[in-house]
């Protein structure tokens, strides 16, 4: 494929079609394109002749006619996930050193899948901050990490059993919980405001925070310049949080058209995580108990209805798998399988590409750095042979990954 891995001072990527999430907003793909990368960032992107004229002596990377897109952004990630059952118990039993290595391995695998940025929304023992520092220092490979630290829950609330949550009660404790995550280095705040599929002694529609507690979380986080995302299932609970200024909903299993309309008007995004209510093989692999499987899979039809309502009302939807992003599942990885569900159930391929790249970048406030193939942004790029604007399943064929100007995966490198 020409050129070897690693980061060159200047290189030109050519023999490709460049496309990104802006196609959902009317932009056209660039065919016979080239991308000039200097150091970590994109210096130029456009027709091949124009780009080559700017750097005639740059090293060349020939993608062999591939489609080139920004790296994917997974907005609902748990690198230390431990569901009920033997598989999850094994993760819970890891000591701090083992946990760090376990998460580092997951980060490497995530990056190699073509996910170059993640938003962690509850990780154990603040190990995510150490992992982020290690990745930024170049000690371990992995995606760019935006993290909430530990999620905030009421006593006995959703996810309270693990070291990835912090139990709080009353407005003052929730304020303290927000500040504790920000002190540790959190980029955003995650709060559990209803029950879910993984809590044995709750229902999806169980309200878990009072309005004054939700208000305390949102007000405090916003005062510190952090957005808030909420694990939430039922429409009434979501409606109340949206009125208080919630920035994002995770799952949204039981939306109504009115609540979806309120989300769209407020600018509250939705990370639907459709795959979590249609993943029996994953549950079986981890030994997830029957009660959770039944609750999850039983919620599937209503979950899709909620998603359709969100799309119909114009809610911004963003890619997030909840399952570990790299997990091998139904012939691909969990990230791509989620993206396929989003595309096939009303979003379409162009919308899915935006939901996996530019949309998340905007929500994260990282639009200057990631999410598009554009000068000034990091050279976080992936390549595949099939057209992602024809089908989201094209991402099953990711064969080349660059992060920050460094080639971290090249499936053709060892071919004769």
Task: Name the band, by pLDDT with cuts 50, 70 and 90, for residue 416.
Answer: very low
293-323 pLDDT, tens digit each: 998 899 999 999 999 999 999 999 999 999 9
pLDDT of residue 203: 86
pLDDT of residue 3: 53
The mean of the pLDDT values for the chain is 94
Task: Name the band, by pLDDT with cuts 50, 70 and 90, for residue 78.
Answer: very high
3-28 pLDDT, tens digit each: 555 666 899 999 999 999 998 888 89
Do domains 6-71+371-410 and 72-364 share one topology? The answer is no
Residue 372 has pLDDT above 50, yes or no: yes
Mean pLDDT of the region 331-344: 98
The pTM score is 0.95
CATH number of 6-71+371-410: 2.30.40.10
CATH topology of domain 72-364: TIM Barrel (3.20.20)
Could you state, in order of their start, the residue ranges of all structural domains in the chain? 6-71+371-410, 72-364
Task: Name the band, by pLDDT with cuts 50, 70 and 90, for residue 161.
Answer: confident
Residue 102 has pLDDT above 50, yes or no: yes
| Structure-block tokens of residue 248 | 């994002």
How many helices (DSSP H) and strands (DSSP E) are in the chain? 14, 19
Query: Using CA atoms, how far apart are residues 327 and 230, in angstroms rounded to an integer?
Result: 24
Relative to beta strand 269-271, strand 30-38 is: unpaired
Query: Using CA atoms, how far apart are residues 363 and 377, in angstroms rounded to an integer?
Result: 16
pLDDT of residue 412: 85
Mean pLDDT of the region 179-195: 97
In 3D space, the residue among 292, 151, 164 whose CA is nearest the CA of residue 208 turns out to be: 151
């Amino acid at each position: 494929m020409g050129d070897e891995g690693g980061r060159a001072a200047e290189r030109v990527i050519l023999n490709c079609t460049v496309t990104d999430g802006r196609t959902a907003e009317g932009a056209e793909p660039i065919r016979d394109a080239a991308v000039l990368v200097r150091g970590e960032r994109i210096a130029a992107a456009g027709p091949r002749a124009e780009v080559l004229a700017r750097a005639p002596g740059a090293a060349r990377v020939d993608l062999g006619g591939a489609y080139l897109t920004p790296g994917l952004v997974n907005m609902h990630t748990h690198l230390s996930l431990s569901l009920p059952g033997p598989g999850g118990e094994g993760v819970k039993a890891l000591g701090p050193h083992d946990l760090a290595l376990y998460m580092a391995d997951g980060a490497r695998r995530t990056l190699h899948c073509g996910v170059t940025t993640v938003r962690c929304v509850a990780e154990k023992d603040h190990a995510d901050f150490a992992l982020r520092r290690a990745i930024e220092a170049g000690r371990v490979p992995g995606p760019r990490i935006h993290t909430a630290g530990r999620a905030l829950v009421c006593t006995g609330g959703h996810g309270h059993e693990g070291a990835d949550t912090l139990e709080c009660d009353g407005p003052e404790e929730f304020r303290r919980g927000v500040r504790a995550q920000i002190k540790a280095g959190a980029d955003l705040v995650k709060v559990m405001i209803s029950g879910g599929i993984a809590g044995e002694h709750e229902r999806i529609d169980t309200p878990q925070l009072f309005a004054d507690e939700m208000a305390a979380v949102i007000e405090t986080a916003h005062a510190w310049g952090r957005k808030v995302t909420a694990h939430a299932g039922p429409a009434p609970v979501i409606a109340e949080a949206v009125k208080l200024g919630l920035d994002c909903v995770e799952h949204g299993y039981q939306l109504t058209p009115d609540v979806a309309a309120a989300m769209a008007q407020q600018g509250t995004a939705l990370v639907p995580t459709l795959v979590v209510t249609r993943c029996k093989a994953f549950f079986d692999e981890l030994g997830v108990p029957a009660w959770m499987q039944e609750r999850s899979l039983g919620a599937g039809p209503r979950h899709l209805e909620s998603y359709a309502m969100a799309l119909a009302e114009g809610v911004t939807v963003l890619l997030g798998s909840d399952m570990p992003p790299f997990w091998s599942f139904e012939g691909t990885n969990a990230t791509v399988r989620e993206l396929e569900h989003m595309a096939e159930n009303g979003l379409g391929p162009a919308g899915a590409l935006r939901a996996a790249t530019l949309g998340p970048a905007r929500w994260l406030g990282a639009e200057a750095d990631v999410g598009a193939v554009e000068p000034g942004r990091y050279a976080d790029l992936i390549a595949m042979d099939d057209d992602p604007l024809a089908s989201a399943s094209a991402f099953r064929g990711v064969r080349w990954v660059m992060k920050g100007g460094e080639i971290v995966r090249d499936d053709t490198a060892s071919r004769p």
